[in-house]
Structure 1
């Protein structure tokens, strides 16, 4: 028998209140319920009206059967088991691995001192940071300094490192888009700062970013005494899937320059672009194109191996680059990074592979190109098909995905559902998503988890379910939606 003590030190009432107040919707109540249902299906098959849980709550491609890139996994395997590179194993290795994968593994092992199990430099392995700098220069046409690049355990820890350093006290404000990705509100709350919302302009086609709204937001915050120091932009957007035009980006840079703000550019979906008329431009490229008048602007750009066609979320690899940031601040970032010793070395390896994939003429290139193109084209088809399916539902308006891997439909809910949610102490879109999960096994995230304009309701879904299962997925969601509307309209 377990005796519950009432004098425990670890009690919620005694914890850091910033930790208690943190909320992270994509891994919140619905995700917890989804895990409970998954366990029930495993222990008692046939006990639920569905056979599997479909996790559309988070951009986790390989969880939904996206295949890893062969070249990337070959190199990672060799790095983790370098005995395969010994001369006595050459015959079997040559049968299993392409020669350029073997060469890359040897190069990376030499750069890390012979073992992926050893700590690396706290900024990340120098050779990989150089390769990231080469990638950025090739992408943008402007040089990058490896010493201004930090490898991280995914983009999220990089964002948190910067916010933790930037938020000096509880009066420091960080401008964030609404709808926003919960990483930002959660991290700002954790570090006891103030989230300063600016609202994206929602239409049937996109979620636009309006400079007038940025000016309203910062003026309102500063009038109330908030020390606004940074503006966060997510491009392509999460959860909203929009892609900024180059002209909009120039306006944002001018705004940050005039208002003396650090620009935090979350660019983790930069390869998830679905419209040829809206190509991706990095904020660094656009900033540099504006000339020396804007050289003083402080820009920190984030990227990750978790998204794009790579989808290696579990590897925990990413980086951020500092542009226009003074050396003493970079030293502070380095000090904070050093507390964690180093980012995961396997994540660093995946960063290297992402920014330096096989090129034409390499033995692995044909297979690599075919795999990347197949994933991209499938994502593009799924985005279009699922948006059309959502738009066919009663009371649902779904802008198409211009980028990223999410759709963020707006839904008009029956008054009966709003009343039922209020009675249950829930947001109406949270009630909708929970009932969908319990009826179909599909886990989405309510718009209230991302913040949204008052009086509007949304849900966010990835379009990552396997393409050969998409029709049944759509049928299941449509059947639930129609039943939900009928249930609460009576």
Structure 2
């Protein structure tokens, strides 16, 4: 940098504080010995402590497609529409993320009434709410410090609610659950990340690796990148409705073991983004595999209420391994549940839990210690967890309405799952497996060669190219399959089934028209 430029920059920074003119400062700097020029330069253009070169490389590697560039562009388009921009559509349809309430699903009355009462205790005795709501709110407040949801709780959650979660698991599985092994979390994501951090170590001179399904929920790939853990992908079989076979697990394990100490296995059931529901026999095979290779199992079971296909049924890993008996009932397991999914859809409240099974007591104590550094999950999220773990019982005042609302949500999701599958399977170049559960479809699309060439010219993945075209021309926001992982040479995308039926039909009609034009343009 020339001395003149240096003086000019320094004077602009310092003139106000020193009360000198630029000319006077320039003269003063010129008169200084050469050694002072460095200090002027430092004051004039302070180097950043953090740059891309000095940033944690794991953060740069991290990607989270569900909220990636397409979603950022969708938000920009929304603002453009608000300012009166002319588009070939009137609104953005966010089919990219499993946010039920944002897509028009109505809250469950019982949950919201209990929340209202714990936030404003004056409502408890107002006569506006059923007696079971009043009793629930009083019990939760009594378990809070100062009888206020504004107080901290224990780091792993309110004991009363942890006990209720254990009772829920016992009813679900028919086997005992210890409330001390229940940890309440800020949504399932926090619990998953807390457990992944336990694996950040080298074993036998190798960095730790974690087996995850491909396709997978990007929380896993992002978290593995963030923590410097190895991603060991195993492919789901699309031709068998995204099934999982142990031969593929063995292939992935042995391949991953060449570079990493493979220590954990992630299972998402019901599947995200693929919507499959594992059979009991399949779960038994997975448990045998995990036992054989001494793997810690992450059972992501947040969609356990979302099962639609007639011949499908949810079985928890805890239930199956318990009933398999020794030696399989001794594997280390963390299972995860959330209030964001199911029939509740309370994404913004950030509530969930994990059950820890067969962990070394010292490891579990250290996990709880690490969690304590984050203080506690939100008390409102914990309150909603309590409403999910201990729902109204037959004969209680809130039961009939709760049952009616729950049934309506799940039946509507079932209908929408069929709408999406039927529509995509009737579109040229598409194939879509049955959505057995969860909240998403993951259709496969055959893209024309010219579209693939056009994508390369724009330095985009072909499915990303397609998704951007769809967004810009229709306002429909989806997530490209490359954000979840897919077999090389195949192209997919994930769409939620959450838009309400009228909006979903509108979305599918627009999608069909877009795809017909896209195919014609690039054929």
TM-score clears 0.5: yes
Matched, 1:457 2:491: yes
Displacement of 1:12:
2.1
Matched, 1:10 2:85: no
Q: Tell me which of 116, 119, 124 is aligned to 1:80.
A: 119
Q: Tell me which of 378, 397, 409 is aligned to 1:375.
A: 409
Report SS of the residue matched to 1:195: strand
Distance in 1 between residues matched to 2:217 and 2:103, nearest whole Å: 21
| 1:280-304 per-position Cα deviation (integer Å, ceiling 9, x unaligned) | 0000000000013223210110010
Report SS of the residue matched to 2:151: coil
The aligned counterpart of 1:202 is 238
The aligned counterpart of 1:71 is 110
> How many residues align structurally?
479
Distance in 2 between residues matched to 1:350 and 1:20, nearest whole Å: 35
Report SS of the residue matched to 1:60: coil
Displacement of 1:6:
6.5
The aligned counterpart of 1:275 is 309
The aligned counterpart of 1:433 is 467
Displacement of 1:225:
3.4
Deviates more, 1:55-64 or 1:287-296: 287-296
The aligned counterpart of 2:83 is 43
Matched, 1:390 2:424: yes
Question: What does 1:210-359 align with in structure 2 at a 5 Å threshold?
Answer: 210-222=245-257, 224-359=258-393
| 1:241-290 per-position Cα deviation (integer Å, ceiling 9, x unaligned) | 00000000000000000111011100000000002311100000000000
Report SS of the residue matched to 2:321: helix
Please list every run of 5 or more consecutive structure 2 residues that lacks an aligned counterpart in the other structure. Answer: 1-11, 14-43
Matched, 1:184 2:220: yes
| 1:362-402 per-position Cα deviation (integer Å, ceiling 9, x unaligned) | 10111111101111110000000111111111100000100
Report SS of the residue matched to 1:253: helix
The aligned counterpart of 1:106 is 138
Deviates more, 1:169-178 or 1:449-458: 169-178
Report SS of the residue matched to 1:47: coil
Distance in 2 between residues matched to 1:456 and 1:225, nearest whole Å: 26
| 1:10-53 per-position Cα deviation (integer Å, ceiling 9, x unaligned) | 32222111111100000001110010011111122x52111111
The aligned counterpart of 1:139 is 172
Does the aligned pair in 1 maintain the 2:338–2:353 contact within 8 Å?
yes
Distance in 2 between residues matched to 1:68 and 1:21, nearest whole Å: 37
Distance in 1 between residues matched to 2:170 and 2:94, nearest whole Å: 37
Report SS of the residue matched to 1:292: coil
| 1:318-374 per-position Cα deviation (integer Å, ceiling 9, x unaligned) | 111111112111101101100100011111111111111111101011111110111
| 1:52-90 per-position Cα deviation (integer Å, ceiling 9, x unaligned) | 1111111110000000000100000110111223xxxx4
| 1:118-158 per-position Cα deviation (integer Å, ceiling 9, x unaligned) | 11000100000000000000100111111111100000111
Please list every run of 5 or more consecutive structure 1 residues that lacks an aligned counterpart in the other structure. Answer: none
Does the aligned pair in 1 maintain the 2:275–2:436 contact within 8 Å?
yes
Q: Tell me which of 208, 211, 230 is aligned to 1:172.
A: 208
Does the aligned pair in 1 maintain the 2:216–2:273 contact within 8 Å?
yes
Distance in 1 between residues matched to 2:497 and 2:404, nearest whole Å: 21
Does the aligned pair in 1 maintain the 2:116–2:123 contact within 8 Å?
no
Distance in 1 between residues matched to 2:290 and 2:211, nearest whole Å: 11
Q: Structure 1 residue runs of 4+, over 4 Å off?
A: 2-6
Distance in 2 between residues matched to 1:449 and 1:49, nearest whole Å: 27
| 1:212-252 per-position Cα deviation (integer Å, ceiling 9, x unaligned) | 00001101111x23100000000000000000000000000
The aligned counterpart of 1:59 is 98
Distance in 2 between residues matched to 1:470 and 1:186, nearest whole Å: 30
Q: State the superposition RMSD in angstroms.
A: 1.5
Displacement of 1:8:
1.7
